[in-house]
Structure 1
């Protein structure tokens, strides 16, 4: 299972996604360009003490992301407010990559076209959307639950 952020706008969301990925033992891919300077120093600072656990890859473009060998491992699952399937009806697979669009504008058509599934998280009818990392946590939790991919607890 992998988590991907398409051209994120907010550095704090990348930091929270790094911590999420580290805690749930999944890889994170950040697809550039970002809406802020993505430096190694900034990432280390954002990851706080989870930096040693975080596995993340910077992708220079969406084309580089699509060409990465990891794309052969599973499907590309786009989480979007324009999704076709509700989260609870999707059958996830261990090799899937869950991708989330920009906070300001979502995912462009090229990302929609590349995805094998477009998923939405059902919300109250008057609610517009969730925070990016909250959405990632909800989607990733369901995917890991279905695939038995949660980290094993430490034994005392």
Structure 2
């Protein structure tokens, strides 16, 4: 899987998303300009000690991202979409893009990808969910649809066994 952040602004969100990407073996694509530097303390704090294990790529622009990834099919997560994120079939190596926290993905990009725009349903006049939460919701749906390929599906107790009564 591939998560794409278009011009992220808040380092803590990107750090949390990076940690989620490490936990799911997902590549993180970061498109400039960003509202922070990758060596900032906040991003490291949110990503904990997982940041060193993160598979990520930084691009100069949206066009640079498109060219270097051979113009991939991209699911665009936006509050402006007409269909829920659960109404698409995610490919194992798909790209899921999220826009910057203050404005989302620009409408001209959405319009040129309208068949791949998806949204997380919400009630009322809520503008949006936190970016890290939105990434986790949609990424885990994509992973579920692909049977959590390569992921550990069972946990273990430290001092007991699950079958003990």
Please report the TM-score for the alignment, with normalisation by the length of structure 2: 0.82
Aligned to 1:153: 152
Aligned to 1:131: 130
CA contact (8 A) 1:94 1:149 kept: no
Q: Deviations over 1:57-83 (max 9, x none)?
A: 1111111111113644xx200000001
Runs of 4+ in 1 over 4 A off after TM superposition: 41-46
Instruction: Quote the offset at 1:47 in angstroms.
Output: 2.5
CA 1:96–1:90 in structure 2 vs 1: closer, same or farther (change >3 Å)?
A: same
Match of 1:102 among 79, 87, 100: 100
Whose strand fraction is larger, Structure 1's or Structure 2's?
1
Name structure 2 gaps, 5 residues minimum.
157-165
Alignment partner of 2:52: what SS? coil
Alignment partner of 1:52: what SS? helix
RMSD: 2.2
Please report the TM-score for the alignment, with normalisation by the length of structure 1: 0.86
Aligned to 2:18: 18
Name structure 1 gaps, 5 residues minimum.
none
Instruction: Quote the offset at 1:24 in angstroms.
Output: 1.1
Instruction: Quote the offset at 1:124 in angstroms.
Output: 1.7
CA 1:45–1:125 in structure 2 vs 1: closer, same or farther (change >3 Å)?
A: closer
CA radius of gyration, larger in: 2
